[in-house]
Structure 1
């Protein structure tokens, strides 16, 4: 090990997470795909969960190729999970996930949907229900059943909700009523769960990121005007070509590691300062 690696390991102990078991929802693409790979490289055992089982199998095959073929226990296993299913179905899936490695230390509620961009008066009841079913109900049910397992096993743990800057009071935009409301509700859910789950040594935090390059934002990133706009509205240099690493993945590693054992009930904003109030943002365009 080089001296630089030794120093990095001392200053950032969360670089190594060997022995931790993580369940990640929405792992078949985007953030979830990248979280799974990054955490496996850090030494975690990963349970990848989503509806698209074929994609999960491909992801797990990739992750398991990181280790020696002589290892009997895989680094990653797939779990087919539809977070819009009935509570009993989700509960059964969580119990199956728990049995995969014998326990789970961390749940990352990453699955979500932005929904259609529509003025509030044109927003259908069905679309409202769909967005909340995925963004809020699914996260709540996964958290509930994981927390029950953690409580009964007396292991404690960490729950990380992937939210959005759209759920912040200081950020509001037209056409996103269902999405913004669901993410604001997730922030409240995070703080109340942190209050209640703390008695069982379970920490609950949320991460509210800005836009990053992913398959969901592919169309936006293809717009030629975007780099110019981002350079004017972001106080910090915006990593235009970055996906999640290191802006979110390093924070997730920290919230998994025992270094954050006193950290709960927080909404971590990852946005290069773009949502800070009082800045002459739009006037500079």
Structure 2
């Protein structure tokens, strides 16, 4: 594992109890950072925090769709760490696999609330603290689906496309500060999110990846760690592909 310097940095990772989020939190700890795991499942988050970080990882119960809950978690994290240098907007759901015309409106809204409203709410809450501290790194976990639009996953695809656009807009807004905002667009990984998908949809995603396998959570975490580092100082409002050759742009 290559060394990435996150010494003395303090990070928030939403949805950090498992999957991509856990791998990112682990890589951050290995790189010297303190990590606040924000997750709706506090028991799971506390278990993860204990397993990977001991006294450098703290778990908070947070519903990222609730602005008040996010503000409370921000205040608690700032009280514990003194600052928030890094925000990784990772919390997300896949939703059920159906055509647009068979998708219930509330199912559409649920996916958009968590996958797009959540990152907006977290950014809105934390960015002023980064501005005051004169430093920040924001990494949004989007998806190749946000570029291509997966069939039978319009809500998920639209939410990730929206997150890419949010990344570009906020990156421009913060370009005059030492705060970068970037997105990553991974292909699927074998995580718990697969439990929400049909086997047909999983097979479809695999068939689209030229490397012939799903991305490893550790591979994504390595890319995120660099984007969250001080070395990543000039790339902002950008989208970093990690799709095994699937992306065409």
Question: How does the TM-score come out when normalised to structure 2?
Answer: 0.91
CA distance in 1, matches of 2:171, 2:198: 35
Deviations 1:223-268 (A, max 9, x none): 9x959x95x7543x3455x6311x2122111112211111101111
Indicate which of 260, 271, 284 corresponds to 2:243.
271
Match of 2:47 in 1: 58
Deviation string, structure 1 residues 43-101 (Cα, Å, up to 9, x no partner): 11010110111111111111235xxxxxxxx210111101122x233222212122221
Q: Paired residue for 2:64?
A: 83
**Who is 1:203 aligned against?**
180
Gaps of 5+ in 2: none
Deviation of 1:274 after TM superposition, in Å, equals 1.7
Structure 2: distance between partners of 1:216 and 1:43: 28
Within 5 Å, give how 1:167-206 maps onto structure 2.
Answer: 167-168=146-147, 171-206=148-183
The corresponding residue for 2:109 is 129
Deviation at 1:173, TM superposition (A): 2.7
Q: Identify the match of residue 152 of structure 1 among 132, 142, 153.
A: 132
Is the alpha carbon distance of 1:158 and 1:222 closer, same or farther for their aligned partners in structure 2, counting shifts above 3 Å?
same
- The answer to whether the 8 Å contact 2:5/2:32 transfers is yes
CA displacement 1:89-143 (0-9 Å, x = unmatched): 3222212122221001100000001111111112222111111110111100101
Q: Is the 8 A contact 1:147 1:197 kept in 2?
A: no
Compute the RMSD of aligned alpha carbons: 2.4
Q: Which residue of 2 aligns with 1:217?
A: 194
Instruction: Flag the 1:166–1:106 CA change in 2: closer, same or farther, 3 A.
Output: same
Once the two structures are TM-superposed, the CA of residue 152 in structure 1 deviates from its matched residue by 2.0
Counterpart-to-counterpart distance in 2, 1:134 and 1:172: 18
Q: Which runs of 5+ in 1 are unaligned?
A: 1-7, 66-73, 278-285
Secondary structure of the structure 2 residue equivalent to 1:258: coil
Change (3 A) 1:191 1:219: closer
Q: Is 1:112 aligned to residue 86 of structure 2? A: no
- Tell me, yes or no, if the aligned pair for 1:213 and 1:221 is still in contact at 8 Å: no
Change in 2 beyond 3 A, CA 1:40/1:53? same
Matches of 2:92 and 2:208, distance apart in 1: 26
From 16, 38, 49, the equivalent of 1:27 is 16
Using the size of structure 1 for normalisation, the TM-score is 0.80
Q: What is the alpha-carbon distance in structure 2 between the residues aligned to residue 104 and residue 178 of structure 1?
A: 31
8 A contact 2:95–2:196 mirrored in 1: no
1:71 aligns to what?
none
